[in-house]
Every structure is written in structure tokens, then in C-alpha cells.
Amino acid sequence: MRRPVARNLTLLAVSAAVVSVGAAPPHSDTAAAGPAAAGMAVVEKVPVAVGHGGAVASVDADASAAGIEVLRKGGNAVDAAVATAAALGVTEPYSAGIGGGGYFVYYDAKSRTVHTIDGRETAPLTADENLFVENGRPVPFADAVTSGLGVGTPGTPATWKTALASWGSKRLDTLLRPAERLARDGFTVDATFRSQTESNQARFRNFPDTAKLFLPGGELPVVGSTFKNPDLARTYAELGRKGAGALYRGKLAEDIVATVNKPPVDPASGYYARPGKLSLKDLAAYRTKRQAPTKTSYRGFGVYGMAPSSSGGTTVGEALNILERTDLSKASDVQYLHRYIEASRIAFADRGRWVGDPAFEDVPTTELLSQKYADSRECLIKDDAVLTSPLAPGDPRDPAACSTAGTAAPTTYEGESTTHLTTADKWGNVVAYTLTIEQTGGSGITVPGRGFILNNELTDFSFTPANPAVHDPNLPGPGKRPRSSMSPTIVLDRNAKPVVALGSPGGATIITTVLQTLTGLLDRGLPLVDAIAAPRASQRNQTTTELEPGLWTSPLKAQLEALGHGFRQNSEIGAATGVQRLPDGRWLAAAEKVRRGGGSAMVVRPAP
């Protein structure tokens, strides 16, 4: 999304076009001129790169370059993922950062096994199912979003600690240096960063520390100017010296708790930011979870994803199992989209009923991923008709063919701002890592003097039961993880070697984005970069299916409507990245061509 500020690094010799540019656009007195003003070399983003030695794909050129720098210096895919994630915390501060959490999927080339880390944020230990209920009514969603009440215990630094201790080869301080340098020296503001700031400026102005950082001089950051975050640089330096645990104990932890429980609001704004209930005990008690991935077989490939608390692995896996019985490679475009939409609808119906934090809920993960259960649901799909939403769930523990006897639960809203990165190294290790602070701009609350925004991830909980007639597995609870849709995914061949790894941001649309990209690649024969770029449809057990403009204006829309489909338009769904292992051993990195300003794919040693 941003062109990086030129730096004296080894980052410029990467698989991206290096150009000399002329004068920058006019800039304000509150931000320094960007590198373009001096005619300096900058790295242009490209959506696909092929070569040897490892690969990185993210939404941002600076972040991808940070990962490539680590790979060039002998780091592995895990090291590169942490470095890339830290850099995204600088350049994508409204989507990710150390104030949030995420899910980490790792393929170990030596053992040919897949491992995962659940680094999801948690509710305070004092929370109960009425966390978002006041006077018997749910708190207005907009009020919960911009408040301390929506902030969960961050999981991102603990995820880095777990990943590096388990599979990394470099120290955290080494991996944070590119991001620390980037925060100190700055990056070039682009139109997307300015637009995201503009859409948040009203609530950012409520918090003096957020306004000072992201609205310099009271104005929006100017495209072409250099954006610096010295507070975050110092925070990264502190984490490098003391370790990731410094966020969970000590002065930084105290600063987070104080900020959550008494949000620093500008008195002149008149805004009431509901206080949170986070304690030092919550931070000290936080733990990531090493757990087995979900696994399903599709077209002879092994598809591995995130088990609950994420619903990504179970929902993508169930939908693939439903589609297994249809030869999508021979289907027409209309038949393909119809089947894909209906499989998504069914899988989301089951997700809403059955998936929550398994520490609190009895989640039938194995049964949801069984082919037997998928077959009992697949028979609901008709070639000449459309299922009605909200569709009732089935019972994976007692599959009944074509049953819709359950009580439907509509899909709740999830913030669509998140980011995904994918890395691979010369040894064949692969990482798919999705991380977030929830909505664009998270809670809007910056920890004073620390340079990062806190998440509003607890708003992913159901505030009240989605359907009062049925148990809702996603109500808040003490230390509970809210259900997520993040779907970092790794696909292996019959020899347990990597084929592709991918993921996306986008709230609940993450699941459909990953599903559509996988079927585009594995069934429709699209190159990975084109499977990512293809116009998207997203059905989440709702009355209408979302379409991007490329399908909204296509003749396919009318043909699908003739079957009974209803649609609404969404200008942009997801922003995927992925890496693919080519048959000759080269890595292919791929990212968006257009969405979110385009992504950044890089490899260590480019090759034709």
C-alpha cells in the first residue's frame, strides 16, 4: 500500500521494480517530504514474483522487504514472518500491531508437519456473557467499538514469542530492527493510508494521543509525505531488549491497563468512551495455544487451517468437503459460482451454531470436518434453485441427509480490517499468518507514548444471543476468545510437501475469500495471482450474496439471479496473499493486483 522510504538497507535488491521518481505531491508543514521529493530510489510494489531462496507476500512493500532482509541474512520463514508482521505494525497500524492478535500456521519441512498457534485476544477474567449488556439491552455497536470495553488482552507479542521459541532461528531484537528503523525513519503516505485515516478522523479526534500521532497538526497525512512513529520505534526497542513478555508485565502492561480502564478522551470532545475491565492479572495470565491444525482432503490435497477459536479451518474445510462431489473443473462459470455460493451458505449455517472457543464450548470440530457430514449437507444443493437464508444448521454428531431441522442463527458482524502475510524459506518451511486489531483503526485508542492502537476484538462476540431459541457459542466469558473468521491455510500434496499457502483479511469474508481462491487455483486452473485477483462473491448465510463490481456488472449476475440468487454490491472483498511451490522448486509469491492499493510479492533471488 505504501512505497517505502529509501533506506541504507539491503532491501532494494528485491523482486520489485526500482525506479527513480520525481517531485512528491505538495505536503504539509506537519510531515516531512517523502523520498520522491529528492528523486531517490523507491521500491514499487508488484503482485507476483518468482525465484529461489524464499519468498514473502504481504499488502505492503516495506513489510515484505523486511521479511526478505531477514531471509537474506539466513533467517527462516518463521523469522521472516515475525519481521514482516512487526513492519506491518508500522505501515498498517489500522489493521495490525502489537495491540492485537492473530493466528499463525507453520509448515515444518523437516518433519513435513503443520503446526498452529492461537494468538487470539481474550476477554478479561472478570467478564461474563453480559459484558456488552447495559440495563438489559445490548450496548450500541458503535459505542462498543470505540471504547475500552471492546479491548481484549493482546496476543500478537506472545505469538511472536511462541513461534520463535518453537521454530525460529533469530532473536526477537534482531527481527524487530527493520520495523524499528521503519518507525523511526518513516514510510511514504499513500492514498489508501490517507483514506483510512480520513474515515476514522472523527473518532481519532476524541483521543489526543491518537490525534497527535495520526492527524499531525490536526490535519490528515498528505499523500507523498513521510509518516514517522518514534514512540513505536522506542516500544519495539524495548521489546527487543526485554522480550515480548514486556508487554504482559511491567510498565508497558501498566500503561495498557490504565489506557483501557480509563480511555484518555479529549474533554472538549464530549465523547464518552466506556471504560474496559482489563487488569494486570489478565495480561500476566495470557497464553497462546499450540494446537493441532484442522485438516481435510480435497482433490487429493491435504488442506490445513486454524482450529477453533477460529472458525476459519472448520468452515473452509466443510465447504470444500461439500464441493468435493462436484467436478468444478468442468462446470460452467454459472454452475461453479452457484455451487460455491451454496456450499458457503451451508458451512456458515453450521459455523454460527457450533463454533466458539473450545475452552468454553463443546465444539464438534472432527464431525464438522467429516466427509459423511458434508455429504448429508451437500444434498441440499439443487442445480436449479437457491437455498433460503438464514439456513438452519445441521447436527454434525447425528448427520441426517438433507436435514434442515435446526434453528437458524444469522451471521453476526465482524470488522473487516485485518492483514495477512505469507512467507517461505530456502529449506522449504512455510508460514501463513493472519493478524488484526479488528476494525480499521481498532478501538481508536492509542496507548500514550507507546505508538500503537489497541484492538476492539471483543466486539467479535455476540452481544446477546444471535437467536434466543438456540445456544450461542460466541457469547463473552472470563478469559474467553471471541470467535474469528481468520483462515490462514496451507495446502500439501500427497507427499506432504507444500503446494500453496494463503490467507486474507476481511472479517467473515475471509472464509469465502480463501475458499474462492483455493477453488480458483485447484479446480479452475487459474494462476495463483489470478485466483487472488478474480472478482469475488461472498455468501455468509444471509438473504443476499455480496458481489464485487467485476461480478456485479457481469452477465453472470443475471444468470445467477435467474436461479433465484439475490445480490448486494461490495466494492472490495478481502486482500489475499500467498506463496506457491512450483514443480521445479522455485517459489512464487503472489498478492493483490488492485485491492487495498495492490500487494507486494518478493523473492530472495528472482528468476524468470
Residue 418 is a catalytic residue: yes
Asked whether the bond before 26 is cis by omega within 30 degrees of 0, the reply is no
* E-only strand ranges, 260-396: 289-291, 294-298, 301-305
Alpha carbon distances (Å) from 437 to 101, 173, 212, 392, 587: 7, 23, 20, 31, 30
Mean predicted confidence (pLDDT) in 412-437: 90
Per-residue pLDDT, 324: 97
**Dihedral sign (CA 91, 93, 94, 95):** positive
Element (H, E) at 114: strand 113-119
Between 442 and 40, the higher pLDDT residue = 442
Rounded Cα distance between 116 and 442, Å, is 25
**Is the pLDDT score of 3 beyond 90?**
no
Question: Looking at 288, 418, 440, 577, which residue is catalytic?
Answer: 418
Within 13 Å, how many C-alpha atoms sit on residue 43's CB side? 30
Where in the chain do CATH 3.60.20.40 domains reside? Answer: 290-415+465-606
**pLDDT (tens digit, 9 = 90+) per residue, 192-227?**
899 999 999 999 999 999 999 999 999 999 999 999
Residues 6 or more apart in contact with residue 162 via CB below 8 angstroms: 104, 117, 119, 288, 290
Residues across the chain: 608
- Cell, residue 123: 476477554
Sheet of 567-569: strand order equals 537-538, 545-547, 567-569
pTM (2 d.p.): 0.93
Contact 99, 85 (CB under 8 A): no
Mean predicted confidence (pLDDT) in 562-568: 98
**Is the pLDDT score of 326 beyond 80?**
yes
Per-residue pLDDT, 17: 36
Rg (CA), the chain: 23
**pLDDT (tens digit, 9 = 90+) per residue, 427-446?**
999 999 999 999 999 999 99
The class of domain 290-415+465-606 in CATH terms is: alpha beta
**pLDDT (tens digit, 9 = 90+) per residue, 508-557?**
999 999 999 999 999 999 999 999 999 999 999 999 999 999 999 999 99
**pLDDT (tens digit, 9 = 90+) per residue, 149-182?**
999 999 999 999 999 999 999 999 999 999 999 9
**Is the pLDDT score of 146 beyond 80?**
yes
**pLDDT (tens digit, 9 = 90+) per residue, 213-272?**
999 999 999 999 999 999 999 999 999 999 999 999 999 999 999 999 999 999 999 999
Percent of the chain with pLDDT strictly greater than 90:
88
Amino acid at 490: I
